[in-house]
Amino acid sequence: MVLERLQQMASHLTGQVAQHHPSDPLTTEEIAAAVAVVRREYTDLFFNAVTLWEPRKAEMMKWLASPATVPRPHRVADVVAIGRGSKVYDGLVDLDDGIILRWELTEGVQPLITMEDLNTVESVVRKDPKVIEQCGHIGIPPTDMHKVYCDPWTIGYDERFGSGVRLQQALMYYRPHVDDCQYTYPLDFCPIFNADTQEIVHIDVPKVRRQLNTAAPNNYHAEAIEKQGGFRKDLKPINITQPEGVSFTVEGRTLKWQNWNVHVGFNYREGMVLSNITFDDKGTVRPVFWRMSLAEMVVPYGNPERPHQRKHAFDLGEYGGGYMTNSLALGCDCKGAIHYMDAAFVNRAGEPQVIKNAICIHEEDAGILFKHTDFRDESCTVTRARKLVVSHVFTAANYEPVFSVYCVYWIFHQDGTIQLEIKLTGILNTYSLNPGESAAPWGTEVYPGVNAHNHQHLFCLRVDPNVDGSDNTVFEVDAVQGEGEVGSEENPYGNAFYARKTKLATAGAAMSDYNGSTSRTWDMSNTNKLNPYSKKPVSYRLVSREVPSLLPKEGSLVWKRAGFARHAVHVTKYDDDQIHPAGRHVPQTSGEPSQGLPAWIAADPSASLDNTDVVLWHTFGLTHFPSPEDYPVMPAEPMTVLFRPRNFFTQNPALDVPPSYSSTPSQMAAGKTGIRGIVDSISRLAFGGKQEKGGSGDCGGCN
């Protein structure tokens, strides 16, 4: 009966799939259908992931070129399931045909940890006699075990336990009161949890014990702030209004705004995936990027004492940026006129789950786009900019209270620029400190008895450029001095400098570090097409200035596991299967050999990257030396990466954005007023008073 119903579901779906864009994430119906197909043959499993297996690029391109004659790529689900004894299965399910295409037992790997995996650890920890004993040593009586909390992390890698058994490390805390921030009360020991047997298999106890912190709670919730004297009272509302509605349209998951066209995907791992990004250049639709996503990240901590070397979370590969995504609230997370998209995932039991409002899309005013004033007669042009923001927020892990919150904003600008902004907020990971003990140099005492360790947040961006076609070449661009000393023939005054371009010609050689002193950037160029004016290849330039080096040393655990973080830029030849730069299954990898990028490059280091379909991997981020201002919750710190058109257009591509005001010398001479574009009837003088007609008051001029 049940099987029949499930088969009906799968076949019912066959009729439906034709409507989905091939890059659309799997719907709840599709997730259910994929699970049903798997369950037909395998019953004793739980599900770790069911996600879109993206169409192979070649197949997709063939279909796009001739949709009438070439069959549409099938909808395929990529399935990760776990069986008894930590057995991991990787499978593919064809949803159009309702069949399993591939089903493999994958040995020696652990798929990412889900919220459901995490939720059981705390209750086990509280009941474990060995944990209760350790609590006793640092001043927590057995009657207080309900006040003990833990944040389970993947174990990272611990050579004593290897990769065969699914393990988590429990970072331990205490809450005097249920509303207190537990990070003020870190415990000094670290239990290790076996997810398969659901028991504590080991506890790492430091040589020097640290007693439970006795400092008063340090909280950020409203009740605590009221007690500290309350909130500021001098803030007046700011209303964002778009009286005539928004300027973007959404069809399915394709977004159109100001010449941009982009498909917005989503998966459990990377979160947002932007694909098929094109720019309409005065009637010519020009491809810019085929696919862009945050593909991985690692947060290595810098305290050398065991077991802190294990603290280096791969938030995407070990937890899933999509799985940890927040449901966003109107007016809090995004302000203005908002369009939301939901996200669908599978749960452990194989049921589809929906996170409402996972992606937020909205426009913002973006200050001045361009301006010029002629000092002779004050004729001028000023045009205001607008930006379109596509965002999601993920919390690692999705806890109350939380730690490490990443707000990811993909921002489209009217001048052809794409910007990725990431804001970092949340709560520091903390460790205990004895009275009189120094946190230096590996950490900072951010509050009495609270040690916040130094760490880095390193993000890896996967960029598949499509700059006027898929055959692209990547160049490293450095600002360098001209040859020759002062007085020489070629540089007589010593003032010469230029942009030196170095082709990243083969995969083995395409590893590039950041250099601030040469303002290093990277161009993704189509060398088959030159700009008619500059005679330089049409390009998009990666401009990224927050690019710390990986601080864990060569040969260290993090260096081995997070190969992508060894260089700011790697370039590889396109391969459909190369999506995850630290490997498909990241938890408990030893890094021997390194998975993902280093392995792909080593497999064919002489692969030519010249004028072919390439992928650029960019690692950026920040090194975080905590300070008291980051505690008990850290104000958001932004980081930005820009993709700027260079030699791509023949002039400023935003000249046709309606100006706020524009006048010419002849209009000024004739005493005429200039032209006004979008009239702003809301702006007014802060403290009232009369607005001068045609003066500074109502944008009748530029100054």
Ligand X SMILES: *[C@@H]1O[C@H](CO)[C@@H](O)[C@H](O)[C@H]1NC(C)=O
User: SS3 of 175, please?
Assistant: coil
Secondary structure letter of residue 223 according to DSSP: H
Choose the contact partner of 58 out of ligand X, Cu ion, none; CB within 5 to 8 A by kind. none
Spatial distance between the Cα atoms of 293 and 410, rounded to a whole number of angstroms: 10
Residue number, 296 or 363, with CB nearest to ligand X = 363
Binding to ligand X by residue 278, rule CB under 6 A?
yes
Choose the contact partner of 276 out of Cu ion, ligand X, none; CB within 5 to 8 A by kind. ligand X
From 67-75, 138-146, 244-252, 617-625, span contacting Cu ion (CB under 5 A): 617-625
Q: Pick the closest to residue 521 from 550, 537, 501, 548 (CA basis).
A: 501
Residue nearest to Cu ion (CB): 624
Minimal distance, residue 512 CB to ligand X, in Å: 10
DSSP-derived pairing of the beta strands 455-465 and 284-300: antiparallel
Binding to ligand X by residue 245, rule CB under 6 A?
no
Residue number, 175 or 624, with CB nearest to Cu ion = 624
Choose the contact partner of 624 out of ligand X, Cu ion, none; CB within 5 to 8 A by kind. Cu ion
Residue count of the chain: 703
Hey, what are 182's tokens? 């537990």
- Which position among 78, 188, 315, 630 bears the catalytic label? 315
Bond preceding residue 537 cis, omega within 30 of 0:
no
Matching residue, tokens 């700059």: 467
Q: How many residues bind ligand X (CB under 6 A)?
A: 12
- The interface mask with Cu ion, positions 619-648, x = CB under 5 A, is -----x------------------------
Minimal distance, residue 190 CB to ligand X, in Å: 37
**315 part of the active site:** yes
**128 part of the active site:** no
Residue number, 285 or 679, with CB nearest to ligand X = 285
From 105-113, 172-180, 429-437, 514-522, span contacting ligand X (CB under 6 A): 514-522
In three-state form (DSSP H/G/I as H, E/B as E, the rest C), the secondary structure along 88-142 is EEEEEEECCCCEEEEEEEECCCCCCCCHHHHHHHHHHHHHCHHHHHHHHHCCCCH
Matching residue, tokens 């862009």: 292
H or E stretch including 264? strand 260-267
Minimal distance, residue 624 CB to Cu ion, in Å: 3
- The answer to whether the beta carbons of residues 466 and 622 sit under 8 Å apart is no
Spatial distance between the Cα atoms of 413 and 22, rounded to a whole number of angstroms: 26
Bond preceding residue 593 cis, omega within 30 of 0:
yes
- Say which amino acid occupies 158: D
Binding to ligand X by residue 515, rule CB under 6 A?
yes
Binding to Cu ion by residue 312, rule CB under 5 A?
no
Applying CB under 6 A, among 14, 353, 502, 518 the residue interacting with ligand X is 518
Residues 58-77 interacting with ligand X (rule: CB under 6 A): 64
- Say which amino acid occupies 178: V
Residue number, 230 or 331, with CB nearest to ligand X = 331
> b/e string for 117-150 if b means 16 or more Cβ within 10 A?
bbeebbebbbebebbbebbeebebeeebbebbbb
Binding to ligand X by residue 549, rule CB under 6 A?
no
Binding to ligand X by residue 284, rule CB under 6 A?
no
Binding to ligand X by residue 263, rule CB under 6 A?
yes
From 349-357, 492-500, 509-517, 628-636, span contacting ligand X (CB under 6 A): 509-517
Residues at the contact surface with Cu ion, assessed by CB under 5 A: 624
- Which residues are catalytically annotated? 315, 399
Q: Which residues of the shown chain bind ligand X in the complex (CB under 6 A)?
A: 64, 237, 239, 261, 263, 276, 278, 285, 513, 515, 517-518
